[in-house]
Structure 1
Amino acid sequence: MKSEAKVETRNTPQKDAIRAAFVETDRPISAEEILSYAKRSVPDLSIATVYRNLKILTEDGWLEVVQLPGETPRYERSGKEHHHHFLCQACRKVYELEGCVPKILPKIPRGFPRCRP
């Protein structure tokens, strides 16, 4: 029986730039946002390389997928305290909210108007 050894992934300038995007934004971000941030350091970075590294970083446990209904997946760093997510309808960016649902409404992020149906 063959044992499956975990393959060590190497650090590359592309992967370092992708990780730096998460450190800089400190919020869930999409592959397109990652590409925009990471291209500052690696101008020839492609979206295919971003997706390949997102898969690796997720499998390694460095990232988690944030799935919101009807939205493209966002990714955030693993190991954060329990929290929820807030999608700004104007800019389509996702932000983190600390705490649970009953405590969230009074804590809408500063600068966002409270919408009424």
Structure 2
Amino acid sequence: MPALLKKVSTITEKGQVTVPKSVRDALGLGYGGRIAFYIDENRHVSIEKEIEEEDDPVVDSFLSFLSRDMEKHPEHIQEFPQALRQRMVELTKGMQVDLDDPIIGDVTI
């Protein structure tokens, strides 16, 4: 597969590399952006923009609330209803899910 873009950088004495502007632009990287390096079995290197998980203060607060409530009131914790569990099994029968796959599109919680 031909490359869309090829740029060359030089490694400094300290092992640093300047990422060319055209590469930064293509990856959507700005100052302080992070990149991940991947090396395959053939020693081919690819880079990607590192997507950092953003903390959501509302979600963090809600999860903390749930955690405190479960510790204070363990008697309120109930088993997942069998009928709902069975319905979930029926609805997802034959589906293959990789929990490590990225979620595509917007997600609203």
Structure of larger gyration radius = 2
Q: TM-score, normalised by structure 2?
A: 0.23
Q: TM-score, normalised by structure 1?
A: 0.22
Which one has a larger percent strand, Structure 1 or Structure 2?
Answer: 1
